[in-house]
Amino acid sequence: MAIDAETLEEQPEPAAGDAVLEIRNLEVTFKTEDGMVSAVRGLDLDVRADEVLGIVGESGSGKSVSMLAVLGLLPPTATITGSAKFRGLELIGRKQKELQPIRGAKIAMIFQDPLTALNPVHRVGVQIIEAIKAHNPDMSNRDAYNRALELLELVGIPRPRVRIDQYPHEYSGGMRQRAMIAMMMANDPDVLIADEPTTALDVTIQAQILELVKNVQERTHTAVVFITHDLGVIARIADRVQVMYAGRTAEVGDVETLFSGSKHPYTRGLLSSLPALAGRTGKLQPIAGAPPSMLHPPPGCAFHPRCPMAQVLCTQEQPPLRAIGAPQQLSACHFADQVPDTRPGT
Amino acid sequence: MTDLQDLAVTTGAPGLPGGDVSSSESLGLEAKPLSPSRLAWRRFRRHKLAMLSSVILILITVLCVFAPLFTKYGPNQLIRVNGVKFALQHPQHGHWFGTNERANDMWSNVLYGGRVSLAVGITVALASTAFGTVVGVLAGYYGGWLDDVLMRITDLFLAIPFLIALILLTDLPASQPWAQTIIGPSHSVRSIIFIIAILFWMPVARILRGLVLSLKEKEFVEAARAAGASNARIMLRHLVPNCTGQIIINTTLAVAAAIVTEAALSFLGKGVDIFTPTWGNLLGNNQGFLESNPALVLAPGFAIVITVVCVNFIGDGLRDAFDPKQLSV
């Protein structure tokens, strides 16, 4: 594991800035009636200032869980070990009270379902003002109100002076997600975690929200962690991508690098199962098999039962994450250098 | 696109894709924002029986609260006509409900008695609902051992035989000085309120616990936590306001139940001391005159029935108003 961290650190830092959030060897285990479920198994992840980091993976690959663990939002049945440093400040193992000043102010999070993420009994404006005042108790009501108006404008809500006094049920789904983003941007967080914010919305609204996140990111320079299982979304929004499989990192790299020169068979599999790419052959190429049960993850590389390139070594040894290919590209595959350069199917 | 947008404005077609949202949405937006409570009030107003009950109940309350304006006699004032005690009279001009055996005017007794009965009902309802809400929200929100402890205590209180416990407790302050310091002297209004209230909070606690259990899984609670809200803030600002409907309905129904309970206790001679007029006391004191002077019994009896029925209809109306999905039976 130590190698992984070193390899990551050996990478030259981009001009955009240092890592604001450094996750090292994060492990999350849930105690269930069937036994211990390891949802995250030694995750290393860097979020750099002023970037959009996309995290892709199938359901249960540990995308959301790792982010919730960082914020201390997991239920008490979860055991969390490892390290997550926000600007050098360790977050893992903190008490709820200690995390409250971080949540919302330094690291904010928006969720999947905007329909239930706003409290139905309070006006939208009141909820935004509350989010502002939670971290600025001395701010006057007038200032907080004006700030809320500003935020509603920032997220593109038309006629904010009318909308600010309305209740969530008077908003459409897309507008509610906009309001959520306004609420979470209220305190200029350094990191905004977006946990599949477009999954519950229809395609046109999805595009608008993506545009909005990108727009807000460019204007505020907040680092954004965008969790999704949709590679199309990643292509549109992310600067860097981290592909997760079975609670571990499969591959990390710039978005162009991963889409054109992936060095991991899982990323390759995901790309070739995209309809747009498979269109050339006329047939979708799904990855064979199903994601592994996290109760009994396969030994060695967790992907080996489904991997077309798997060899004996893969069933025995976990591949370390190592630098390969393009600068800043890391792949956790024993045979990363043998992953064919051309896309399968072309 | 501009043509389409113009079309959208002129024809009022809602939400053309790609068109500016404000132009198509401005049509219905001039109205005041509809808060959940405003919507509930709208639905409540449509419930005719509940509206009628509200009017009657307000009338009764005004009569009782401002009793001195509506009667010239005090409740225990001896009435003499030509120097003779004017006892056990039938209803007549000046004494609408007649007079009782102690020559007190019954109309004024019913009005002044209503003060105590309503005060007991409302205070018990408010106190027990408040306490039950605290217990239920804490148990539901924190779960775990706190939930277990609080809910077992709730079960324990529910297992107590209600009337027997009430009767035993009313005599407690007389023999136990510590009880007297806490709940006041035996058969004082204060002690009766206290005793009924401590046997009234359990249903509210259970309902609120269930409600909070489901509410705390909603994403807005997680969002609030992710925004840095403390537990206290989540409970007070997010969970309790979402339970307002249930809290109001339960308070209302508890008023009716508490009035009946007070009346039952007083009727048994175990309630407020018999010289303080309450509707229960008036019933109990005059029960021997049901045949000779029925008005003495019917007046406080109808006062109880009308009040309780009105309160229950209002409760029904509130339930429909706050929970429009539930079909009213």
**pLDDT tens for each residue of A138-172:** 999 999 999 999 999 989 999 999 999 999 988 98
Share of chain B above pLDDT 70, in %: 88
pLDDT at B320: 85
Contact across the interface for A158 and B22, Cβ inside 8 Å: yes
Q: Which of A101, A110, A117 lies at the smallest CB-CB distance from B228?
A: A101
Q: Compute the CA torsion angle A118, A121, A125, A130 (nearest 10 deg).
A: -80
Contact across the interface for A120 and B230, Cβ inside 8 Å: no
A260 has a pLDDT exceeding 90: no
Q: Decide which of A239 and A281 is more confident.
A: A239
Contact across the interface for A119 and B224, Cβ inside 8 Å: yes
Q: Decide which of B162 and A285 is more confident.
A: B162
Q: Decide which of A273 and B197 is more confident.
A: B197
- Residue A98 to residue A220: CA distance in whole angstroms: 26
pLDDT at A276: 60
pLDDT at B267: 87
pLDDT at A269: 87
Mean pLDDT (whole number) for B144-165: 94
pLDDT at B290: 86
B279 has a pLDDT exceeding 90: yes
- Residue B313 to residue B319: CA distance in whole angstroms: 10
**Confidence label for A6 from pLDDT (cuts 50, 70 and 90):** very low
Interface test with B, best of A107, A119, A127, A204 (most B CBs within 10 A): A119
B19 has a pLDDT exceeding 60: no
Q: Decide which of B32 and A10 is more confident.
A: B32
Locate the chain B residue with the closest alpha carbon to A95: B230
| C-alpha closest to that of A75 among B149, B242, B142 | B142
- Residue A229 to residue A245: CA distance in whole angstroms: 11
B2 has a pLDDT exceeding 80: no
Q: Is B102 exposed, middle or buried (0-12, 13-18, 19+ CB in 10 A)?
A: middle
**Confidence label for A17 from pLDDT (cuts 50, 70 and 90):** low
Contact across the interface for A123 and B228, Cβ inside 8 Å: no
Mean pLDDT (whole number) for A314-342: 85
**Confidence label for A11 from pLDDT (cuts 50, 70 and 90):** very low
pLDDT at B31: 57
**Confidence label for A46 from pLDDT (cuts 50, 70 and 90):** very high
- Residue B223 to residue A183: CA distance in whole angstroms: 10
pLDDT at B21: 43
B73 has a pLDDT exceeding 80: yes
pLDDT at A10: 40
pLDDT at B27: 46
A12 has a pLDDT exceeding 50: no
pLDDT at B8: 38
B150 has a pLDDT exceeding 70: yes
User: In this structure, which amino acid lies at residue A240?
Assistant: R
A178 has a pLDDT exceeding 80: yes
Residues in chain B within 8 Å Cβ distance of A73: 222, 225-226
B82 touches chain A (CB under 8 A): no
Residues in chain B within 8 Å Cβ distance of A71: 226
**Confidence label for B80 from pLDDT (cuts 50, 70 and 90):** confident
pLDDT at A199: 83
Share of chain A above pLDDT 90, in %: 41
Residues in chain B within 8 Å Cβ distance of A135: 228
**Confidence label for B199 from pLDDT (cuts 50, 70 and 90):** very high
Mean pLDDT (whole number) for B33-60: 88
Please say whether the beta carbons of A304 and A298 come within 8 A.
yes
A268 has a pLDDT exceeding 60: yes
Contact across the interface for B233 and A97, Cβ inside 8 Å: no
Residues in chain B within 8 Å Cβ distance of A178: none
B186 has a pLDDT exceeding 80: yes
pLDDT at B32: 66
pTM score of the predicted model: 0.78
B216 touches chain A (CB under 8 A): no
pLDDT at A298: 87
Which residues of A have a CB under 8 Å from any CB of B? 71, 73, 96-97, 100-105, 108-113, 116-123, 130-131, 134-135, 158-159, 162, 165-167, 169-170, 180, 183-184, 204
- Please tell me the total number of residues recorded for chain B in this structure: 329
3-state helix, strand, coil in chain A (%, to 5): 35, 20, 40
Mean pLDDT (whole number) for A189-214: 89
A335 has a pLDDT exceeding 80: yes
Q: Which of B25, B238, B244 lies at the smallest CB-CB distance from A119?
A: B238
- Residue B171 to residue A9: CA distance in whole angstroms: 78
Q: Is A23 exposed, middle or buried (0-12, 13-18, 19+ CB in 10 A)?
A: buried
Please say whether the beta carbons of A232 and A313 come within 8 A.
no
Strands (E), A120-175: none
- Residue B262 to residue B254: CA distance in whole angstroms: 12
**Confidence label for B64 from pLDDT (cuts 50, 70 and 90):** very high
**Confidence label for B325 from pLDDT (cuts 50, 70 and 90):** low
Residue B117 DSSP SS3: helix
